[in-house]
Amino acid sequence: MIRPGRDARRAAGRLCLVDFSGTDPSARIERLIADGGIAGAVLFRKNVASVPQVAALTAALQRIARQAGTPPVWVSIDHEGGAVNRFVPIAHDSTTAPSPTPLPSAMALGAAGDPALARLAGCVAGRELRALGVNLNFAPVLDVNNNPANPVIGARAFGDSPALVEALGLSYIEGLQSAGVGAAAKHFPGHGDVTVDSHLALPRVNHGADRLEAVELAPFAAAVRADVAAVMTAHVVFPELDPTGVPATMSGPILRGILRERWGYRGLICSDSLSMRAIVDQYGVGDAAVSAVRAGCDLLLALGPDALQDEVMEHLALAIERGDIPGDRLAETMRRLHEAASRWGIGAAPHVAIAEAVATEEHAAIARRIAEAAVTLVRDRAGMIPLKATRVGVVTVAAGLGDDTTPAFAPWLRRYHPAALEIPADDPAGAHDAVIAVTCTRGTPASSQVTTIREIHRRLDARLIVLAAGDPYDLLQFPEVPAYLVTYGPDGPSLDAAARVLVGLIRSRGRLPVALPGCTA
């Protein structure tokens, strides 16, 4: 029986994963673990300085819980590959251990089309995260990205085929979980066919039951059968699945009705971040948190400002005291959290030394294999590839996907073509025999980027090669360009593979895992 006051607050804390600032435990996160009994923390780039520092940070979080006599904490992260990599800023110098292995994106795995490579990617991610003290990875993305205008998923998905997403997603889950890190399949019941970013507004998917069963739901049903550790919910409305119009995160018919009752799922259900505008603007975080738990969520991502985190936990504690969150519902979650903690060894020290698990040559070779199998030459009408030109310019057109992901491709190309130069977009056309314009977008490119590409093409004609280091859909906006190469992400292995394709050291072997109508010849 939950007593009012501290017991209710601690019970509320056990439902929450929070973020914090700094590369050491802040006074606030220490207090939330020791006094509030929170379930754990989500790491972001603001928490990363070096590999040893991350390992020390996660160990410190567990030590705080141990000394306070509270349950060990979940330490989670979004480590999807491609542009979604929280470790990118780690310095490469002689005073720090190397960065964790940068892995190509899910869509790069889709272009490679090999489940064995997807399993290896999961193994690499899991082995390195486990060595760093991370026990839950918010991956893979099981959304079927069949809408080229999707502004938030794109190359984070394996492709636009439910069968491909299922096959590669299950292999990735198997690899990740075999290394001792729980996988969180996201974003249930599907975020692939939207034109609205739920970080900014509330999307709707209006398809009927048959379509949802065959496309959106199929990969998640397979993940449940594969005993995935967690399923992350989508802040998306599915009227066919819940006519009340609430997003899946807050929907009992979707979470309890489909995941628990129909599919028999026994793992954890985790919300996406409650700080996203789809929740904040429509429902308020406190009320949404209570609704999400009542609907079936076991863990809530209470991310963002301290006031938002406090509002979530205060509303939950009050709902627990009043019985608005029934005791049997709370007991179910506590049982599942206990079982999951035992299954994944939460709080146990890593069994593998950092030097033996992080940034090994074996892992780097796997990342290179994936990238080489993925890079896709969509078209080369003028026979520009491999490069015969001696004067090659590289223009960065895209602003990147945020968080320092704008690709610097010229240094990669100079490894194999020393004369390659980074040039501004308005550089005189006559100065170069070939120009490579690098984009890195998600969803539809900005109109300014499209205009720039078209202007470069007008000046250069057949001498232009577009390299898409993000989503492959950019070509739909400038289908007239003569050569188009795709890496599906700005990670180092993928850019290196593109450079080697361009100079003829390897051939392009990837195949588009999504449709680009009218643009493949």
What does the pLDDT average to over 477-503?
96
Nearest CA to 508 out of 478, 477, 481, 484 is that of 484
pLDDT of residue 430: 64
The residue out of 331, 357, 383 marking a domain boundary is 357
The pLDDT tens digits for 41-60 are 999 999 999 999 999 999 99
In sequence order, which ranges of 441-491 are alpha helices (DSSP H)? 447-460
Give me the pLDDT at residue 86, please.
Answer: 93
Residues 384 and 435 in one domain: yes
pLDDT band for 75, please (50, 70, 90 cuts). very high
In the numeric block, the tokens 């959304």 are attached to 143
**107 and 175 housed in the same domain:** yes
Nearest to 219 by CA among 168, 153, 260, 258: 168
Predicted confidence (pLDDT) at residue 206 exceeds the cutoff of 80: yes
Position 436 scores a pLDDT of 96
CA distances from 196 to 151, 201, 505 (A): 7, 7, 41
> Is 70 exceeded by the pLDDT of residue 264?
yes
Looking at residue 103, what is its pLDDT?
97
Same-domain check for residues 15 and 101: yes
Whole-angstrom distance, CA of residue 92 vs CA of residue 85: 16
Q: Give the pLDDT score at 521.
A: 54
What pLDDT is recorded for position 387? 96
Tell me: pLDDT of 258 over 70.
yes
The predicted structure's pLDDT at residue 246: 97
| Least confident residue range of 203-207, 218-222, 401-405 | 401-405
Is there a single domain that holds both residue 472 and residue 444?
Answer: yes
Say whether both 324 and 465 belong to one domain: no
Mean residue pLDDT of the chain comes to: 93
Residue 521 lies in a domain: no
What does the pLDDT average to over 299-303?
98
- Per-residue pLDDT for 95 more than 90? no
Question: Mean pLDDT throughout 88-111?
Answer: 75
In a domain, 369, yes or no: no
Q: Are 40 and 95 members of one domain? A: yes
> What's the structural domain count of the chain?
2
pLDDT at 92 over 80: no
pLDDT at 197: 86
Length of the chain counted residue by residue: 521
One domain, residues 246 and 275: yes
* pLDDT, tens digit, 9 for 90 and up, residues 351-395: 788 989 999 999 999 999 999 999 999 999 999 999 998 899 999
Catalytic residues, which ones? Answer: 199, 272
**Domain range for residue 106?**
6-357
CATH number at residue 386: 3.40.50.1700
Q: Are 187 and 141 in contact (CB under 8 A)?
A: yes
**Which among 80, 83, 42 is positioned nearest to 61, based on CA atoms?**
42
Residues 216 and 269 in one domain: yes
CATH at 48: 3.20.20.300
Q: What is the pLDDT of residues 144-185, one digit of tens each?
A: 999 999 999 999 999 999 999 999 999 999 999 999 999 999
Whether the per-residue pLDDT at 18 is higher than 60: the answer is yes
Q: What is the pLDDT of residues 500-514, one digit of tens each?
A: 999 999 999 999 999
Are 174 and 266 within one domain? yes
Identify the weakest region by mean pLDDT among 8-17, 140-149, 159-168, 193-202.
193-202
pTM for the full predicted model: 0.96
- Both 337 and 383 in a single domain? no
Stretch 277-301: mean pLDDT: 96
On whether both 346 and 487 belong to a single domain, the answer is no
Residues 157 and 237 reside in one and the same domain: yes
Domain boundary among 329, 357, 385: 357
Percent of the chain past pLDDT 70, that is, above it, reads 95
Name the β-bridge partners of 467.
438, 485
